[in-house]
Amino acid sequence: MKKQTFSEKCYNILRKVPRGKVTTYKEIANALGTKAYRAVGNAMNKNPYAHAISPEAIRNRHSGIRGNSKRTNGFFLVACHRVVKSNGELGGFASGIKNKIKILKKEGVLVKRGKVQNFENVLYKFNNS
């Protein structure tokens, strides 16, 4: 069995964050037992699983049929847009902050002046952090 890279470990942790919730770079690092918050941010920036993907693409993955990965009404394999700074500020996003806000809004997360509103209520914490 191939050993997971740090980035793959980050993505596996992030997959636990449900729609409508956010987590932080620090929460992910803590869940991995490290203080490498910036390394988590770098992994999110290079996320190869970040594009919106349709439910049909997921179902057809195993049958060899390729789904339309450009559908925006699908979901994300690894939703890096759900990762924010520990103070609720948005942090970066590979396709731009405006896109991050738009996606979070679609999921019911309110953003005002670059910060997640009701941050403590929408913050997802991992069991071991």
Active site residues per annotation? 80
Helices 37-45 & 6-14, crossing angle to 10 degrees?
A: 80
β-pair partners for 46: none
Separation of alpha carbons 78 and 10, rounded Å: 10
Nearest to 31 by CA among 101, 109, 83, 88: 83
Separation of alpha carbons 124 and 106, rounded Å: 18
Q: Say which amino acid occupies 90.
A: L
DSSP 61: G
Nearest to 85 by CA among 23, 40, 21: 23
